[in-house]
Chain A
Amino acid sequence: MKAFAPIVLVVALFAAVPLVVHSNVILNFLVVALMIALAGQGWNVLGGYGGQYSFGHAAFFGTGAYVTAILQVRYGVNAWVGFATGIAAGALVGAVIGALTFRSGLRGSYFALVTLAFAEVLRISASVAPITGAGVGTLIKLDLRAQAFQFQSRATFYWISLALVALSLLIAKLIERSRFGVWLVAVRENEDAAQALGVDVATVKSAAMVISGAITAAAGCFYAQYFLFVDSGIAYGTWISIEVLLTPIIGGVGTVFGPLFGAMVVKALGEGAQLVTGDAPGLDLVVYGAVLILVIAFMPRGLIGGLAQARQRLMRRPAVEVHHG
């Protein structure tokens, strides 16, 4: 149980925030950051633990968002059922892409490209297909009732996004401690060696992609309910794919808390840059890009790894001095 204590602590701390903070602006900021953290955890399962760097996770995010929205708007399905179906659809898309790419043995740059291409095909298709509302997008009708998965209070949305993030942290921790997690890390570190040791590489990677797709799709479903609007440029857009990989890498790739930490830092930096520049777009994203490169260059294990290293160095210093003395 001790292994799960940090998760309980962090989630409890986050859960207390709306009791103290009543500003809708701050809560809105946190909800969006938590949503990105959730999507980033999906990427982290496949990219962080499995070493398969996807450049098209928008494929899952967008699928979750569209399935949730379309089921409600066009088929009158209950929002909660739509939400669950959206997650399942994300898992299914993960299974299909995983089966196609990993069976053909695509890795590295090839894998990055093929995931990007899938996201683009979905984006272009969604921008012309009548069922998605084509270029106009799909609008979910305002209906502020719990059974419609819509809430008057920001705090309720906040706790729901936090619950989803908590679940994703738990999943990451369980994967880390399982045999499956060990296989996944073995594939990341050396795929050929893992295969030689009897790991079924293609199946392990495909399974990771299914879990990854489901988690990132959940963030997409949440997006649809929170903003009540989905269009192809947002849901399947390149920017989602980038943001989703940015957060775990900046926070700490292949760690349980990396995506959450990264999302908070990235979003705070973005807000900070926007405060400085006002309405002019672009500068916040320049900051993201620069932070990404700096983290890779100077903290290969992300901010979490960097902090751990700094702490170790601080604790070791007296001993070194004694040794010299």
Chain B
Amino acid sequence: MCHPPLPASILVVLSPAIIIPAILNGLLTGAVYALVALGLTLVYGVLHIINFAHGALLTAAMFAAFFAYQFGIDPYVAIFLLAPAFFAFGYALQRVVIGPAAHGDDRNMLLITLGIAVIIENALLYTFRADTRTIDVPYAFKSIDFGFTFLAVPRLVGFAAVFAVALVLWLIMTFTDTGKAIRAVAKEKLGAELAGIDVAHIYAVTFGLGTACVAIAACLLIPTYYVNPSAGNAFVLVAFTIVVLGGMGSVPGALIGGLVIGVVESLSSLFLGDSLGQVGIFLIFIVVLLVRPSGLFGARA
């Protein structure tokens, strides 16, 4: 690992024929990261807490998508079942467990989401053991020839789907009463409450939307990825970085941050190898937190 770098190998790695596909693949991966981060940033923007259960919820959704496929439901079709189901699950979690148990203290909320993560992850471990499972869809290895490079079909579908989800979210936030209420609570909780908005309901809706985001992300990931009881964690640690980079609570920040991190990861594992590529992400994370905690797009610190 510590051999001196050879000039020839650097030239090979630096050639556009390798770098451009690496960047494009990074963008495609980054889109799914962005979707996971979107759920996280949505919850942060309104509830002002980091949802530590996000990764476990993603894992649970991946298991759900896996078993849906065993019943013959294609992952892309499963989106339309799992997104509403996980919305309801997230809504209930916040309304029945997190909200009442936290007594209005942010620190308690953090701990409760952590407790939920521990429960979900280990209930999955207990039920399904640590085995890694994959599904075998016919289009898993299909790719499209763009002349200068090949791109995998499932990843292109994922990329498009993420932007569709972002559009739908934007429409909800801008044009529906619930969306307006969510934005009102995010800006000024007390004022919104005085104006007659049911804050507990809005909190739960937001948590539900965040959970629906991971359900969709799970359906997009499962055709090319594997699932085991800790599969979601890797994505969420990356999503933390994205949310911090993009500014906690900022939706465009999460989208752009996701794409940036996807490319950074792809390039740094090209140059540094897989495990050090991860360290690169965390270093970005710490530096951004220390130097500019409000992120690149966030207004507040």
Contact = CB atoms under 8 A, between A and B. Distances in A.
Contact of B106 (A55, A109, A113, A127): A109
A259 to B, nearest CB: 15
Contact of A51 (B107, B116, B117, B229): B107
Interface stretch (A75-83, A114-122, A151-159, A165-173): A114-122
B110 A292 contact: no
Contacts of B49: 108-109
Instruction: Give the interface residue-count category, chain B.
Output: 35 or more
B289 interface: yes
Given A101-B290, A104-B290, A282-B123, A113 B108 contact: no
Contacts of A296: 101-102, 108, 111-112, 115
Given A114-B286, A118-B286, A292 B48 contact: no
A104 to B, nearest CB: 5
Contact of B289 (A110, A124, A245): A110
B301 interface: yes
B285 interface: yes
A120 B282 contact: yes
A286 B290 contact: no
A29 to B, nearest CB: 20
A112 B109 CA distance: 12
A289 B122 contact: yes
Interface string B23-62: 0000000000000000000001000111010000000000
B293 A282 contact: no
Given A121-B286, A285-B122, A297-B100, A113 B114 contact: no
Contact of B126 (A100, A114, A249, A277): A277
B190 interface: no
Instruction: Give the interface residue-count category, chain A.
Output: 35 or more
The main secondary structure of chain A at its interface with chain B is helix
B278 A124 contact: yes
Interface in A52-103: 53, 55, 100-101
The main secondary structure of chain B at its interface with chain A is helix
B283 interface: yes
A114 B118 contact: no
A292 B114 contact: yes
A293 interface: yes
Contact of B286 (A105, A109, A117, A293): A117
Nearest to A288: B118
B70 interface: no
Nearest to B127: A282
B3 interface: no
B50 A112 contact: yes
A113 B126 contact: no
A118 B107 CA distance: 20
B103 A114 contact: no
Interface in B77-132: 97, 100-103, 106-108, 110-112, 114-119, 121-127, 129-130
Interface of B: 1-2, 44, 48-50, 52, 97, 100-103, 106-108, 110-112, 114-119, 121-127, 129-130, 229, 237, 240-241, 244, 248, 275-276, 278-279, 282-283, 285-286, 289-291, 293, 301
17 contacts: A100-B290, A104-B290, A105-B293, A108-B49, A108-B106, A109-B44, A110-B293, A113-B240, A117-B282, A117-B286, A121-B283, A125-B279, A281-B126, A282-B122, A286-B118, A286-B119, A300-B103
Interface of A: 51, 53, 55, 100-101, 104-106, 108-110, 112-114, 116-118, 120-121, 124-125, 127-128, 130, 242, 245, 249, 277, 280-286, 288-290, 292-293, 296-297, 300
Given A109-B106, A285-B118, A289-B117, 18 more contacts: A101-B289, A104-B291, A104-B293, A105-B301, A108-B48, A108-B107, A109-B50, A110-B293, A114-B289, A117-B282, A242-B114, A277-B126, A282-B122, A284-B122, A286-B123, A289-B116, A290-B115, A293-B119
